[in-house]
Amino acid sequence: MDYEMLTAFFFWCSLINVVILLAVSAMVKAAGVWFYETREKWFAISEDKFLVVVYAVLGVYKLLIIVFNVTPWVVLNIIA
């Protein structure tokens, strides 16, 4: 693989993951209560704790996108 192919790969990986992150974040923001009510049957936690867990998972996902997709793309753009 050459630099151009790797750069394109990491760009598209970053773009797809950011779109997924934004879509899920928008769904949680718009329908957070509905998400809680559907999962309430499985997990006996309060709505506040549920939303904290959801936002923590989204935060970890965002960090993973930055570390494993955006950072390699920036580095490849710098060295290419």
Length of the chain in terms of residues written: 80
Q: pTM surpassing 0.85?
A: yes
Q: pLDDT value at position 41?
A: 83
Going by the DSSP 8-state scheme, the letter that residue 42 receives in this structure is T
HSE at residue 13, side-chain half, CA atoms within 13 A, is: 18
Q: pLDDT value at position 35?
A: 85
Domain ranges of the chain: 3-79
Closest C-alpha to 11, from 60, 56, 76: 76
**pLDDT tens, the chain, 80 aa long:** 799 999 999 999 999 999 999 999 999 999 988 888 888 888 888 889 988 999 999 999 999 999 999 999 999 999 98
